[in-house]
Amino acid sequence: AMTLGGVDPRLHNVSPMVFAKNTHMNGFFGVHLRAVYLREGGGLSAQTTLDDMSSRMHRLEISEDQLNSGKVIVDSGTTDTYMTSRIAASFKQTWKQITGKDYSHSGMKLTQEELESLPTIIIVIQGFDGPDVGDEPFGEPNDVPGWAGEALSPSFPKDVVLSIPASHYMEYDPEKESYVARFYTEEGSGSVLGANAMMGHDVYFDIPRGRVGFAESDCDYTKLLETEGTSISVAPISNTVSTKTEVVPEEEVVAEEEEQVEVIDEQPTLKDEDSYGESESSSFENPAPNDEDNASYELFNNKKPQGESSTSNYSDLADQAKDKAAEIIDDMKHECSSIECRGVAGFLIFSALVIVIAAIRKAASRRRLLRQYQEAELEISDLALNSDSDSDDGMDGSGYTDEPPMPPQLT
């Protein structure tokens, strides 16, 4: 289910919404990872106890800096999850230690019971450290599902825990009747938490506050409509209202709305421009946009200092083209994960390069021929000019002439 304009707390039937910090304020939503675990025995929920830490949880041996090398983004437009290659060795070693099998992306024949017993991937994400908004959950971090608590993050108990069970990262292939792992550990730079990491969650991208909210949910919006119909007993919250809403009788809601209308009618009218300006400035200030805000809306930076050469402009455009090409290739790498898809993409790129190189060579050859033709014309013109000048100086006129020789006279 997708909710526009806020959060629908009725979907949070498994756990409340907890918030991670958005580390990139423009472009993709970025997060900072604290740790990655494999939980033996599977399981859907992210809630972890101290007993789990001693018996079921296996932390990957990788530093926090290595885990966050490059950007780590949350992208619903990417189907699978791609992690930095720096966790590959530890992940595969821990996986084999738990399951007794090698981790690969080849098909696996599994029963439903075997699928559910595969390790659950647990990712600990830095929590939102800004001021409270009012929609945070009540309770101690150890008791709230979705918060790390003292078990997973003693120093930061309100870090966010994201669980990815095997039923989400193992994709069933009906043609081969096998499961294929869609959690990749081969990225050269950066990581992407894709759509299969968000499955089983209501995810809230809170742009103005720089937060990403996660709430475990069955996401069964059809069942919600069947139980409540089209009427909403608990109104969905907006960006500023607390999630801890109460069911209020309709009569009280109508009475409150009438009181609000009366208050609005009693407000004094503004008579002149001065009073209007004072009232507006006291209630709301619209800050002037700074250079950083404007920079994000400029596709090409046209504000160059005067006197800068056109060569630097071409250089900047070339750099921007290279960056855009790298971004396209990176996106294609994420979306095109199979060997066959990447082979076809590589062939198409190679074919395009061959066509471009052939066009450049053809254009250069035509330009070379045109230059040779122009040089030949110049040589002919020079010969004609030299011939005319020799005739003017009293020579015998045996030089070059455009007129054909006269035939000999017969006597």
Output the pLDDT for position 277. Answer: 41
* CA distance linking residue 202 with residue 6, whole number of Å: 11
CB 205 within 8 A of CB 77: no
Query: Which residues partner with 192 through β-bridges?
Result: 73, 82
What distance separates the 2 farthest-apart alpha carbons in the chain? 135
Q: What is the DSSP string of 138-170?
A: PS-GGGSTTB-HHHH-SS-TT-EEEEE-HHHHE
Regions of the chain short of the pLDDT cut 50: 232-310, 397-400
Q: What DSSP state is assigned to residue 288?
A: P
d(CA 63, CA 36): 10
Query: What pLDDT shows up at residue 392?
Result: 54
pLDDT at 406: 62
**Digit-coded pLDDT (tens) for 275-334:** 434 434 333 344 444 444 444 333 334 444 444 444 555 566 667 667 667 666 666 655
Rounded Cα–Cα distance for residues 303 and 310 (Å): 13
Is the separation of the CB atoms in 397 and 388 below 8 Å?
Answer: no
Distance from the Cα of residue 213 to its chain's centroid: 16
